[in-house]
Amino acid sequence: MGKLAFISVVIAALSVFLGERFVNLRKRTLATRELFQNHLPNCVALKNIDYGSEDITILANGLAFISAGLKYPGMPAHDVTGKILLLDLQDPRIKPVELRMPRNFDLDSFNPHGISVYTDPSDDTIYLFVVNHPQHKSQVELFKFVEEELSLVHLKTIKHELLYSVNDIVAVGVDSFYATNDHYFSSEILKGLVEPFLAQPWGNVVYYSPEEVKVVSAGYYFTNGINISPDKRHIYVVDLFDHNVHVLERKDDNALASVKSVAVGSLCDNVEVDPETGDLWLGCHPNGWKAFMFDPQDPPGSEVIQIQNIHSEKPVVTQVYADDGHVIMASSVAAPYGGKVLIGTVFHKALCCDLK
């Protein structure tokens, strides 16, 4: 074979490969999906939230912690400083307040992503775990919540080589947790362009404690939200690019064993668990292509999905809310409480809606 012919064959093969990868990416992002409006009654936008409410978690007393101001590669840019907000869902004013942070904490680089709350059963101290991306790196901040002062006390910053691209976190102790790594590479170019194009199952779940850090589950296309069952026996992991939720059983050594996966038909982000019913609530991206190729004239929509009886042979998957992006864009979390649901977003506002 001549040199010119060889080059032609290589170019043709590369073209076929790139074309197949492009088609695969559009398929995984549900690029052709059309969304039909399915609104809830009495939805109101939360005040002072205009640049994201990426994760939300709610205590049994109705206090909701909100992670706001995330700067994420590929999403619309802003210059708002990251913050943690608190919303009292038993207060009819439905007005979030910013929690005060310690003076010695670097607020300028604070870039909060996933969050989790752990209440110490020995003394009821509330610990807030926050995934932080200063300079787009990954680390976990551990805070103690002081309700009387509406403040957070920073206890420590957790870094580890296995926590290299953390998306979400679920606390299982005062200084232990499971965390998801959504990418394999740490370079922004490789994470933002190469990995989605290759679409390989390189995501994983890491268990962290001061005594031990290890990968406990792997093989995910985009490991996103993570949470725990009310009885603490199972971990739920969302694979955004594979459109499903994985159910994993916790072992005595904190390893995880796969039990099943449930298809959700959407690119779901974070997962919250109703402590009374065990139902899973997910904030989802119904058309991920629109989120990645952001066009304000054709905005990315939002979708809330509820999974009931997930441990049964026939889990019930229900679309609770859907919007085409003209009310709320790029939903990332849905957290229920007292007949209402809070819907948060990656870079937009947040809603509080009645469920009935």
Active site residues: 113
Distance CA 157, CA 159 (A): 7
Annotated binding residues, as ranges? 54-55, 115, 167-168, 224, 269-270
305 with 318: CB under 8 angstroms?
yes
- List, as residue ranges, the binding site for Ca(2+): 54-55, 115, 167-168, 224, 269-270
Catalogue the long-range contacts made by 289-295 (C-beta closer than 8 Å, 24 or more residues apart): 289/26, 289/29, 289/30, 289/31, 290/31, 290/325, 291/29, 291/75, 291/267, 291/330, 291/346, 292/29, 292/74, 292/196, 294/75, 294/76
Q: What gap in Å lies between CA 300 and CA 247, rounded to an integer?
A: 28
User: Terminus-to-terminus CA distance in the chain, angstroms?
Assistant: 71
Amino acid 226 reads I
Q: Which amino acid is at 114?
A: G
Are the C-beta atoms of residues 301 and 35 closer than 8 Å to each other?
Answer: yes
Query: By three-state DSSP, how is residue 45 classified?
Result: strand
* Sequence-ordered alpha helix ranges (H) in the chain: 3-28, 188-189, 195-198, 288-292
SS (H, E, C) 137-178: CCEEEEEEEEHHHCEEEEEEEECCCCCCCEEEEEECCCCCEE
Partners of 127 in beta bridges: 118, 144
Exposure pattern of 298-336 as b/e (b: 16+ CB <10 Å)? ebbbbbbbbbeebeeeebebebbbbbbbebbbbbbbbbb
Q: Are 243 and 229 in contact (CB under 8 A)?
A: no
Q: Are 354 and 336 in contact (CB under 8 A)?
A: no
Residue 240 identity (one-letter amino acid): L
Q: State how far the Cα of 276 lies from the Cα of 315, in Å rounded to an integer.
A: 17
Q: Judge contact between 351 and 334, C-beta under 8 A.
A: no
